[in-house]
Structure 1
């Protein structure tokens, strides 16, 4: 029951934040996997949860520009990923992921919404990776 309240709080705050600040996507890189990675610069904030003051959170859009992976997404579809970065420890983790598929009428339909664990598992950022590019754009 407590998990459901926390989950609803995360979803509500995410929706509320989206209402107040329009997204401003900045393209970071194109990957070998056929994705264009962008950061919503208006979503970069400090994580306010207890013991996470060192972390920043931000939304990443992974737009499919070439369908090279068998992941159920095609050209024009995209994922939104809520990521955390600890700038001082050089680590990152995923808080939430959702996918959008382009429909025949040109609109997008949310196809899946899977939230990561409440406790975000922070992993080391590999040098010269997309994660390192995120650090350059998110950390002061």
Structure 2
């Protein structure tokens, strides 16, 4: 049996553009993709904090350092520029792998620069952070 767990997350990214007539996907600043260990064409879930919309798409790399978070294609109807979003990637693993797994959580500032990077786990900074929310 395989379990599906959060592999990484870009927390509170700000949508910079919504491009309805592009062929789908979400364009993410290449620096942010690297920080979150995201690969081009990797499936991601996007959660819009402003309106509650959730959708799956795939990531493509944008210019590193640009701060770009552009939702492309039909999903562009679900977001607006300026919306804060959470971008989550998942990985499947065995129960043994899951016990050792530590997700990467990249916390972002409103301008899509990195505020902090946390590694998840029961005794991590991430667990302490969630208790204080």
Q: TM-score, normalised by structure 2?
A: 0.27
Q: TM-score, normalised by structure 1?
A: 0.26
Bigger radius of gyration: 1
Greater relative contact order structure (CA < 8 Å, 6+ sep)? 2
Is the strand fraction higher in 1 or 2? 2
